[in-house]
Structure 1
């Protein structure tokens, strides 16, 4: 249950944020939303796939695990990857509205909230500290990326470039499991697009994003290997 309120230096002067990574702080998630302006960094660490949304569309997510509640990048030393998706890093902050203006909100029910430990949000004068300044910039970038998503998804759907897939996984003990429910890009349909369609995708900025998503699928073997190491107690 969340308790999101507008961030207020008068009310939240003593607020601190625990920045360690682990299940105790809400990081044990299988996936997280990613947005176009971070695809370049994300694709080097995680597979990017698409999941259906409640409104009948799709959203891109980075996969951290191969079953619900599993994050194979979490270990004794925190999060084992150089790139942290913005939708993860910004927690417990989010973008809200104060009238017609966007503003920084905070989820006071989030496990990262503290009054005694962690990064201070405001300084002694009630001004934003370095941590909050970085989070504010990150929220701005995340908001910008979210605004780019509808046009990108619409382009994929217009060219019928999304297809469902299943991934059969051989576990460390020789048994098999299956990842299903997600969508990926249809490479044959992409290859069959004519020059006019490819040019339109390029000019809209979508073609580079498509190739980044395709490149990210190379991370599946490494993700499966992480799972096997976890199963054998090596990670």
Structure 2
């Protein structure tokens, strides 16, 4: 990764290939999301919680694979999903430490054959760059609210380790560790005052989204089995 602050004059000639934007997520099994994405994400992925590798603080993620650096939704050319998380769609742009707009000059979507430009001929921001700025704005605005949501779950002791001990169709065992989900038993035991507090904070429907999304784990297992079967069939045909 080669992050630099975006200069509309210095980088006005850069072009983006839209078909390569999602390539950065091809080996991401955990993709961070903000709470404004929960409802859409729940229709496609399990929503889990994990400790950030650098800060050790809990944050929400969509789970896209059952192994490290595995994205079971990656088809080889795109993410085969109806909803692509904001943290994927904003590639190759980032928000710097001082809220400056940065770009990763090493991202594969930067290509002279791309059709998306950053700056119009008159020097104004392109429609594409405005879209990126809106996505980054949503991520920045959602960060503090999401951190507060997670802090509330921790205060109520509602996060518990997810224990998955799976046997795939080919008989191979698979264990997923380091992930946390909603402790539904403790959630059901909350008193009326705490439930009312969650409702007033706008958190109750998010908790239900997390619970519904847990069923998407079965989709990941199915995709994993399909990928293994295709790999075995390809290897058999190659002999």
Secondary structure of 2:66 counterpart: coil
Gaps of 5+ in 1: none
Other-structure match for 1:146 = 143
Give me the CA root mean square deviation.
2.0
- TM-score relative to the length of structure 1: 0.91
Change (3 A) 1:207 1:24: closer
Secondary structure of 1:74 counterpart: coil
Other-structure match for 1:205 = 202
1:1-150 to 2 correspondence within 5 Å?
2-21=1-20, 25-53=24-52, 54-76=54-76, 78-96=78-96, 102-150=99-147
**In structure 2, how many angstroms separate the alpha carbons of the residues matched to 1:39 and 1:210?**
9
Instruction: Tell whether the 8 Å contact from 2:20 to 2:108 is kept in structure 1 after alignment.
Output: no
**In structure 2, how many angstroms separate the alpha carbons of the residues matched to 1:207 and 1:56?**
25
Runs of at least 4 residues of structure 1 off by over 6 A? none
**In structure 2, how many angstroms separate the alpha carbons of the residues matched to 1:96 and 1:203?**
33
Instruction: Tell whether the 8 Å contact from 2:21 to 2:91 is kept in structure 1 after alignment.
Output: no
Comparing 34-43 with 102-111, which one deviates more in the overlay? 102-111
**1:15-55 Cα distance to aligned partner (Å, 9 max, x none):** 11222258854532111101100101001000000001343
**In structure 1, how many angstroms separate the alpha carbons of the residues matched to 2:143 and 2:22?**
26
Secondary structure of 1:51 counterpart: strand
Secondary structure of 1:78 counterpart: coil
Comparing 210-219 with 88-97, which one deviates more in the overlay? 88-97
Change (3 A) 1:190 1:47: same
Instruction: Tell whether the 8 Å contact from 1:21 to 1:79 is kept in structure 2 after alignment.
Output: no
- TM-score relative to the length of structure 2: 0.90
Instruction: Tell whether the 8 Å contact from 2:42 to 2:209 is kept in structure 1 after alignment.
Output: yes
Instruction: Tell whether the 8 Å contact from 2:64 to 2:73 is kept in structure 1 after alignment.
Output: yes
**In structure 2, how many angstroms separate the alpha carbons of the residues matched to 1:22 and 1:141?**
18
Change (3 A) 1:23 1:195: closer
May I ask how many residue pairs the two structures share in their alignment? 231
Shift of 1:142: 1.0
Other-structure match for 1:178 = 175
Instruction: Tell whether the 8 Å contact from 2:18 to 2:114 is kept in structure 1 after alignment.
Output: no
**In structure 2, how many angstroms separate the alpha carbons of the residues matched to 1:24 and 1:84?**
12
Comparing 72-81 with 29-38, which one deviates more in the overlay? 72-81
Gaps of 5+ in 2: 234-239
Secondary structure of 2:225 counterpart: helix
**In structure 2, how many angstroms separate the alpha carbons of the residues matched to 1:21 and 1:108?**
14
Change (3 A) 1:26 1:155: closer
**1:46-79 Cα distance to aligned partner (Å, 9 max, x none):** 0000001343420001011000111110114521
Which structure: greater helix fraction? 2
